[in-house]
Amino acid sequence: MSILCVGSVALDSVETPFGEATRVLGGSANFFAASASLFTSVQVVGVVGEDYPLEKLDFLRERGVDLSGIEERPGESFFWAGRYHYDLNSRDTLETRLGVFADFKPRIPESFRSARHIFLGNIDPTLQLDVLNQVDDPGVVAADTMNYWIEGARTELLQLLERVDILLVNDAEARQLADEPNLLKAAEWIRGRGPSVVVIKKGEHGAMLFDGDAVFFAPGYPLEQVFDPTGAGDAFAGGFLGYLARRDRMDHETLRRAVVFGSATGSFAVEDFSIDRFRSLDMQQVVKRVREFREMTSFEAPVREVLGV
Amino acid sequence: MSILCVGSVALDSVETPFGEATRVLGGSANFFAASASLFTSVQVVGVVGEDYPLEKLDFLRERGVDLSGIEERPGESFFWAGRYHYDLNSRDTLETRLGVFADFKPRIPESFRSARHIFLGNIDPTLQLDVLNQVDDPGVVAADTMNYWIEGARTELLQLLERVDILLVNDAEARQLADEPNLLKAAEWIRGRGPSVVVIKKGEHGAMLFDGDAVFFAPGYPLEQVFDPTGAGDAFAGGFLGYLARRDRMDHETLRRAVVFGSATGSFAVEDFSIDRFRSLDMQQVVKRVREFREMTSFEAPVREVLGV
């Protein structure tokens, strides 16, 4: 099952304690597609300026990513520059230039409209809604958002939520959206607005799945080297939705595994700058890491011996 | 197997968004003993002033906690006052009065010296070392510490570590102690200084066990209501070491379960002010929560279907 992904196709300049990368491939759509294309074919809708090195996306094309929905427009591509601090948990935005992204109006090509799985990357909720209005009959709609839209476009975001099946946000966004510090209650609040499934990403602290009455946790994968945290959340979403699309199921056990696959692909994303880690990544390595997640979290239920019965 | 616990026996005044408690039972030894006594007998060494309501600890006595090592001295008991913020993840210390704790010199009663399991709560590492010099032949030494000693008594702390089997610290303390932001590397550094096992507590984000080549994670238990986070780390240590002492084993599988039991008892601690939640807590409830931890983290290994082999 192919996934339609709409988001930013950007250039990033990133400084971390381990080095820097200048004007490299970035944006939610790139990270999502690089990750999800390990699982299934991906159709990308986005916009770039004349300065964009589209040829550098050839490795995605070779992996089944259809980039024909990326519009090239006169002007400059979306550019973001940031600097990560010592512990990589916080960052400063040094520069943001929206360029052609400022007037982005997603146009879904005819051949993309029958997609069953949709990923709405973090863009204006009005545009996310607009995407949904252009597709025929989406089976699974997953969406991301951020504090900027939660504050500035709350009404539109709440309208969008009514049509979203899975919301993927980080813990701060969940708390802000629900105006509730307790994550259990925040997730419950969000699920009351539309999404039957909520995934809360907590960076190095892992991810939580809320589905039905169940809560599921995957830890953050402990890496010896974190090179560049940029895009980890979108790479998570790519592994998560990629797995769901490949399986074409959304039962609870499948959702749990999807969270672990997302945690795995998210953890690979941070091992190199930009989407570079995905150039050499294959499913064998992903599955190996999924097995490590299992090993890291499993323990024997210890009832009898403790109660002494 | 009985556990010898040395730590603070304090009075706390706590404000949270959900209410406040004035001059209630607090301190690392109380939280540890309340938790560990669910698993085994506990011997407490500490000091209090004339103002301490020792009779309020009767429920611990009834649960097999030997308080005869708590010295009563002229003066005021250790007093701490703090206020937790909206999301309960940060707090301000409003007041600290060391009182008789300032001159605390742990004296281990003759009848306590044969303890096989020792918990060295967060006190001056010189005193922690002094405790070890008074016991006969400890089998398992677990210790906690904090930023104050890491900065101010580093040499003594490193001497202590050589004689510690299990160090339990939070993530910030681990990073500071090892001067290393990466937790994997920080744990490795600490294990190079003595402890064969390191447990890193991350509050609501769970706990990590480093033992041999393995890393194990337990998530934070998702609570609808967090009343008062004070003492959660010591209640964790009590469940963790309590389980190890009860089983009298320290193999890897037992350590994993101990982390989950610690996570469970830590999660109960925050459901009420002070050590009050332990008044009604029994092993049945703890085991139920341990089972929930298992349910929250388990997933089926998903190899064949994904690779299509």
For residue A89, pLDDT over 80 is answered with no
Residues 6+ apart with CB under 8 A from B210: B184, B187, B188, B191, B197, B198, B199, B200
Residue A33 located in a structural domain:
yes
User: Any chain A CB within 8 A of the CB of B305?
Assistant: yes
CA–CA separation, B234 and B250 (whole Å): 20
pLDDT of residue A270: 95
Residue A156 located in a structural domain:
yes
Confidence of residue A198 (pLDDT cuts 50, 70, 90): very high
User: Any chain A CB within 8 A of the CB of B181?
Assistant: yes
For residue A307, pLDDT over 70 is answered with no
Q: Dig out the tokens for B165 from the structure.
A: 């089997």
Residue A111 DSSP label = G
Q: Dig out the tokens for B30 from the structure.
A: 């109380």
User: Any chain A CB within 8 A of the CB of B251?
Assistant: no
CA–CA separation, B250 and B214 (whole Å): 14
Cβ atoms of residues A205 and B202 within 8 Å: yes
User: Any chain A CB within 8 A of the CB of B217?
Assistant: yes
CB spacing of B216 vs A302 below 8 angstroms = no
Q: Which long-range contacts (CB under 8 A, 24 or more apart) does A88-91 make?
A: A88/A16, A88/A17, A88/A204, A88/A226, A88/A229, A88/B181, A89/A203, A89/A204, A91/A229
Helix (H) or strand (E) holding B84: strand B79-84
For residue B139, pLDDT over 50 is answered with yes
Rounded to an integer, the average pLDDT of B162-186 is 96
Residue B219 DSSP label = P
Of all residues in chain A, the percent with pLDDT exceeding 90 is 91
CB spacing of A301 vs B291 below 8 angstroms = yes
The structural domain count of chain A equals: 1
Rounded to an integer, the average pLDDT of A151-180 is 97
CA–CA separation, B113 and B275 (whole Å): 27
pLDDT of residue A90: 82
CB spacing of B260 vs A299 below 8 angstroms = yes
Cβ atoms of residues B276 and B21 within 8 Å: no
For residue A301, pLDDT over 80 is answered with no
CB spacing of A39 vs B253 below 8 angstroms = no
3-state secondary structure A219-265: CCCCCCCCCCCCCHHHHHHHHHHHHHHHHCCCCHHHHHHHHHHHHHH
CA–CA separation, A45 and A57 (whole Å): 14
Q: How far is A242 from chain B (nearest CA, A)?
A: 11
Q: How far is B103 from chain A (nearest CA, A)?
A: 37
User: Any chain B CB within 8 A of the CB of A208?
Assistant: yes
CB spacing of B224 vs A297 below 8 angstroms = no
| pLDDT tens-digit map of A231-288 | 999 999 999 999 999 999 999 999 999 999 999 999 999 999 999 999 999 999 999 9
Nearest CB to A224: which of B185, B296, B300? Answer: B185
User: Any chain B CB within 8 A of the CB of A273?
Assistant: no
Cβ atoms of residues A200 and A188 within 8 Å: no
Q: Which of A155, A126, A119 shows the shortest CA–CA distance to A140?
A: A119
Q: For residue B273, give the CATH number of its domain.
A: 3.40.1190.20
CA–CA separation, B3 and B142 (whole Å): 10
Dihedral of the alpha carbons of B86, B87, B89, B93, in degrees to the nearest 10: 10
Residues on chain B touching A208 (C-beta within 8 angstroms): 219, 222
Beta carbons within 10 angstroms of residue A294's beta carbon: 17
User: Any chain B CB within 8 A of the CB of A300?
Assistant: yes
Residues 6+ apart with CB under 8 A from A90: A84
CA–CA separation, A152 and A142 (whole Å): 21
Q: Dig out the tokens for B278 from the structure.
A: 């332990």
User: Any chain B CB within 8 A of the CB of A282?
Assistant: no
Residue A195 located in a structural domain:
no
| pLDDT tens-digit map of B67-106 | 999 999 999 999 999 999 877 778 899 999 999 999 999 9
Per the structure, the complete domain to which residue B230 belongs is given by 3-307
Confidence of residue A104 (pLDDT cuts 50, 70, 90): very high
- Coil, strand, or helix at residue B243? helix
pLDDT of residue A300: 84
Residue A237 located in a structural domain:
yes
Residue A191 located in a structural domain:
no
Residue A178 located in a structural domain:
no
Q: How far is A228 from chain B (nearest CA, A)?
A: 13
Token pair 């009604």 in the structure block, residue: B280
Q: How far is A163 from chain B (nearest CA, A)?
A: 27
CA–CA separation, B131 and B6 (whole Å): 8
Q: Dig out the tokens for A73 from the structure.
A: 């427009």
Rounded to an integer, the average pLDDT of A3-16 is 97
Q: How far is B309 from chain A (nearest CA, A)?
A: 11
Count A/B contacts: CB-CB distance under 8 Å: 128
Q: Dig out the tokens for A257 from the structure.
A: 């595994």
Residue A137 located in a structural domain:
yes
CA–CA separation, B29 and B177 (whole Å): 23
Residues 6+ apart with CB under 8 A from B144: B28, B119, B120, B121, B122, B167, B168, B169, B233, B234, B237
Complex ipTM: 0.91
Concatenating the DSSP letter of every residue in B57-80 gives GHHHHHTTEEEEEEEE-SSPPPEE
Rounded to an integer, the average pLDDT of B153-169 is 98
CA–CA separation, A46 and A135 (whole Å): 15
User: Any chain B CB within 8 A of the CB of A301?
Assistant: yes
* Cross-sheet strand order for the sheet of B91-97: B19-26, B10-16, B79-84, B91-97
The answer for A 69-108 residues in CB contact with B (under 8 A) is: 86-88
Confidence of residue A309 (pLDDT cuts 50, 70, 90): very low
- Coil, strand, or helix at residue B245? helix
Smallest CA–CA distance from B291 into chain A, residue: A301
Q: Which of A222, A194, A208 shows the shortest CA–CA distance to A292?
A: A222
CA–CA separation, A155 and B303 (whole Å): 42
Token pair 């909520």 in the structure block, residue: A198
Single-letter amino acid, residue B284: Q
- For B274-306, b/e burial (b = at least 16 CB within 10 A) is bbbbbeebeeeebbebbebbbebbebeebeeeb
Q: How far is A6 from chain B (nearest CA, A)?
A: 25
pLDDT of residue A260: 97
CB spacing of B223 vs A294 below 8 angstroms = no
For residue B149, pLDDT over 90 is answered with yes
| pLDDT tens-digit map of B193-251 | 999 999 999 999 999 999 999 999 999 999 988 889 999 999 999 999 999 999 999 99
Residues 6+ apart with CB under 8 A from B204: B88, B89, B220, B226
Say if strands B42-48 and B3-6 run parallel, antiparallel, or are unpaired: parallel
User: Any chain A CB within 8 A of the CB of B277?
Assistant: no
Which CA distances in Å does A247 have to A2, A39, A113, B5, B302?
A: 11, 9, 20, 52, 11
Of all residues in chain A, the percent with pLDDT exceeding 70 is 97
Q: Dig out the tokens for B178 from the structure.
A: 């090892």
Smallest CA–CA distance from B181 into chain A, residue: A87
Residues on chain B touching A87 (C-beta within 8 angstroms): 175, 181
Residues 6+ apart with CB under 8 A from B83: B14, B15, B16, B91, B92, B94
Beta carbons within 10 angstroms of residue B248's beta carbon: 13
What is the value of pTM for the model shown? 0.94
| pLDDT tens-digit map of A106-162 | 999 999 999 999 999 999 999 999 999 999 999 999 999 999 999 999 999 999 999
Q: How far is B230 from chain A (nearest CA, A)?
A: 17
Average pLDDT of chain A is 95
